[in-house]
Amino acid sequence: MNKHQVFSIKNEQQFNDAALNIFGRQAENCIIYKEFITGLNIDPTKIHSMNQIPFLPVEFFKSHAIISSPDRVKLTFTSSGTTGITTSSHFVTDVSWYTESFRSAFRLFYGDITNYTILALLPSYLEREGSSLIYMADDLIKQSNNPDSGFFLYNHDELYHQIIKQQRAKKPTLLIGVTFALLDFIENYTLNFPELIVMETGGMKGRRKEMIREELHEQLCNGFGVDAIHSEYGMTELLSQAYSKGNGIFNCPPWMKIITRDTNDPISILDDNKAGGINVIDLANINSCSFIATQDLGKIYADHSFEVLGRFDNSDIRGCNLLIA
């Protein structure tokens, strides 16, 4: 299974075939996943449908190296977390899978990156090492080939003037920001820039009181003068992201799929329009584990879009791109 086969998927059958191919490889070569499957008393050779594939709980990334490749680890992504919380580590043997994934997804959802100025307000991520979000934002900034693109820490005045500059020049602009930093910004600056794309990546990081999405997005819309707030759904343990262009409704790129499971029976898969635990199939995560059971709650709709409803009770707070609802 090569990159072209994964990133050129066009339909459900191609996805199913690729998923089964990758499952067979990971069930054999990822030691932890193999032990997990054995513990469930599942015979991998008898898995003939995507819906039969078992999903590895995301918590395993906190205590084990989830690797399916014999190659040397080139890069380690780590999750953010409050003091005292164990963080996840995603050991990446071939970062080109991640690069191809987010570049292709951006092109799919937003078009040519060189048409944009990319402004990144990600202070909490910039202040630590190992952030997959920073890796992605840095690459997108470079790919934009725009001298006005760049990172901003707490220099809100500089960011404000840069946004005004973009508005006056009528240049397509994407502001990607961690939630608390976007809220901090609009407490001191108010814009009326309807064409601005504001993408929140989630995360209060203990800086602010959690709030429901509707309240958050209403505040951000008012502060930036936009009609909708975009969002990104991804996590340290994955190499693909889903995107929302408003109303908290996400869509996946063709090589990523969301499935919901029964919260009382993790092996049982739910029909559309029923709330359950979010399982993610990320075919770009070929050298780790492509089948992850998250601690997130969500609902899938008939058109394959999905909504994130919150987190499981008693689950730990990790550096994932969602809000408690």
Judge contact between 35 and 259, C-beta under 8 A.
no
Q: What are phi and psi of 28, to 5 degrees?
A: -95, -35
The answer on pLDDT for 206 being more than 70 is no
pLDDT at 322: 34
Judge contact between 78 and 130, C-beta under 8 A.
yes
Confidence grade of residue 316 (pLDDT, cut at 50, 70, 90): very low
Query: Which tokens hold the place of 134?
Result: 């920073």
Give the model confidence (pLDDT) of 93-109 as tens digits: 999 999 999 999 999 99
**For residues 113 and 80, which has the higher predicted lDDT (pLDDT)?**
113
Q: Give the type of residue at 22.
A: I
pLDDT at 320: 35
Q: What are the respective helix, strand and coil percentages of the chain, to the nearest 5? A: 35, 20, 45
pLDDT at 127: 79
CB atoms closer than 10 angstroms to residue 260: 23
The DSSP-derived string for 121-185 is E-HHHHTSS--HHHHHHHHHHHHHT-TT-EEESS-HHHHHHHHHHHHHHT--EEEEE-HHHHHHH
Confidence grade of residue 272 (pLDDT, cut at 50, 70, 90): confident
pLDDT at 124: 75
Percent of the chain with pLDDT over 70: 92
- Span 240-247, mean pLDDT? 96
- Span 102-126, mean pLDDT? 94
Confidence grade of residue 325 (pLDDT, cut at 50, 70, 90): very low
Give the model confidence (pLDDT) of 41-91 as tens digits: 999 999 999 989 999 999 999 999 999 999 999 999 998 765 457 789 999
List the Cα angle 141/3/32 in 5-degree steps: 100
Give the model confidence (pLDDT) of 164-205 as tens digits: 999 999 999 999 999 999 999 999 999 999 999 999 998 655
**For residues 125 and 109, which has the higher predicted lDDT (pLDDT)?**
109
Confidence grade of residue 324 (pLDDT, cut at 50, 70, 90): very low
The answer on pLDDT for 297 being more than 70 is yes
pLDDT at 209: 65
pLDDT at 205: 54
Confidence grade of residue 319 (pLDDT, cut at 50, 70, 90): very low
Tokens 């202070």 appear where? Answer: 123
Q: What is the pTM (predicted TM-score) of this model?
A: 0.91
Percent of the chain with pLDDT over 90: 80
Burial 278-309 (b: 16+ CB within 10 A, else e): bbbbbbbbbbbbbbbbbbbbbbbeeeebbbbb
- Type and span of the H or E element at 267: strand 265-269
The answer on pLDDT for 286 being more than 60 is yes
pLDDT at 240: 98
Strands 291-300 and 276-282, how do they pair? Answer: antiparallel
**CA Rg value for the chain:** 19
